[in-house]
Structure 1
Amino acid sequence: MNDDQISVRTVVLLLVGALTVVVAVRDPELGVAIGIGVVVVTLLHQLMGK
């Protein structure tokens, strides 16, 4: 990967993280559901990558 792809990926991840925080503040139940989904996807990504 070149530096441009890493930068775009980082920006997208930060935006999704910020959106998750905003949703969690406005609607705690939905925020928890999104948070759990993010954790599950992250764990699967880590497990499948190795």
Structure 2
Amino acid sequence: MDIRIAFALVLGGLAVYLAYRDPMLGAALGIGVVVVTLLLALLKE
């Protein structure tokens, strides 16, 4: 397992925990992840 994968899994787990504790924050985190993913996909092309 790569260190980047482990770091991403830890951040994902933290995001899920925060979304469980505060649904509004979870929605904001979800939107942020989608936006960053789309930007990275567009920049890669």
Shift of 1:34: 0.7
TM score, norm. by length of structure 2 = 0.92
Bigger Rg, structure 1 or 2 = 1
- Which residue pairs with 1:48 in the alignment? 43
CA distance in 2, matches of 1:12, 1:46: 20
Give me the identity figure in percent.
Answer: 51
Q: How far off its partner does 1:43 sit?
A: 0.7
Gapped regions of structure 2 (runs ≥ 5): none
**1:15-26 map, 5 Å:** 15-26=10-21
CA RMSD of aligned residues (A): 1.1
Aligned length: 45
Q: Distance in 2 between matches of 1:16 and 1:27?
A: 16
Structure 1 Cα separation of the partners of residues 7 and 41 of structure 2: 19
Distance (whole Å) between structure 1 residues aligned to residue 36 and residue 6 of structure 2: 18
